[in-house]
Structure 1
Amino acid sequence: MARRPADSPALFDLPDAPNDALERRLRRAGLKRIAGVDEAGRGPLAGPVVAAAVILDPKRVPPGLDDSKKLDRPAREKLFEAIMATSVVAVAAGSVTRIDQTDIRQATLWAMRQAVASLAHDADHALIDGIDVPPGLCCRGEAVVKGDARSVSIAAASIVAKVTRDRMMIRAAGRFPAYGFDRHMGYGTPFHMEALASHGATPLHRSSFAPIRALLSSVAPAAIEVELDLLAAVPA
């Protein structure tokens, strides 16, 4: 399916918090199950990209939903539990292997498509954060620019994706304690870059990303730890 961005207001016209205007428009058109879709982890140097799809119950929308980037960790965790208790949710992770074999955009679209397809109840329509509708989506799809600031469903998906990925990276910190994955979640912070310079790359690092590719070209293979068993929570 081709790109189909929804009409996007100017940034200064965006509401202070997401609302259900897009969902109500779709329900008036006879579409009952509206899935919000968002991702977390496109920019880090390590770890998977995680996508979530969430069908909210219109009668039990958790209060306080917002773009996950605007919320602190306790607020995200609390809303995550509320979303999981009241909504239909599915998550998919594009692994580091998939990212390196294709690219981050393709891995993200794959994860979004898998998340929607994995919902326990089929969605009638998907509201997808960004400018792309994943090809091969199992339902009608609509790209919504700045969707996590506009749609409560997309905001909910952003929270689920972020909390899920953070938990994966906290687990990764236990496997690779020298890298501080629980501090930066794989982003290229000064601490992370210093750890890479000192210890080399792990199997969780994205070798297709320029900083890691440059590191791998300058570090002897024997200095790079290779483990077959990475994270049980991250599908290949």
Structure 2
Amino acid sequence: MFLSLVLSGEADDTEDDSYIRRLSTSICQDLVYGLIKGKCLTPKHLGLGFAVHQATRSKRLVNLIHSAGHCASYYQLLRVDTALAQHTIEKYRINDNTIIPSNLTKNQFFQFAADNIDIIEETLDGTGTFHATQMVVHQRGISDKHHHDIPIAKDTSFKIPEEFNKIDPAPFHRGRTSPVLNKELNHEWFNPDVKQAELANIKDIIWILTKLHDPEHNVP
């Protein structure tokens, strides 16, 4: 409230209230981050740090903004990334070796979208290429689960489980398998009806002859 009054100069809400609120929230987070000397990461300092690194991939730029007190350091971002990866691996093992986002809400509609990722796929011998599949899940609304309970990792070391690099054999049967039916099949349903076939053939011939003698195209 105090910062909003200082920034806007008015006690009442104005048309630019959303901008003032956003600016005052940003300054408040800078104050909190500075007072506790970066020991607790605010949403702004994490979000801005990840956004800058995602857009530029520059460690130097992230640390430069961090030195001005506006985002977390590059090392802090790596620790958070490591903690999220470790949390994902734990959930992977709990969910029967399946990665399920922990912030999905049960009994609520969601959609999946998948696409392949091919990098350096045109090489002389086919080595050194990268092929993977990326999948995202979208769910409307605000999730009832958050990651506040995930502790930040003490370091950036992380070991990928061996099962991640293994390819499970495809479950297939050699030769042709017979279909499994719940009820007995009535083969008479698939036998041709000779009379109906002859009648259909006669109708086709009549339509063709009528069409040939219809210069004004009245016959559909």
> TM-score band (shorter)?
under 0.3
Q: TM-score, normalization: structure 1? A: 0.22
Q: Indicate the structure with greater strand content.
A: 1
Rg larger in 1 or in 2?
2
Q: Identify which of structures 1 and 2 has the higher relative contact order when contacts are C-alpha pairs closer than 8 Å and 6+ apart.
A: 1
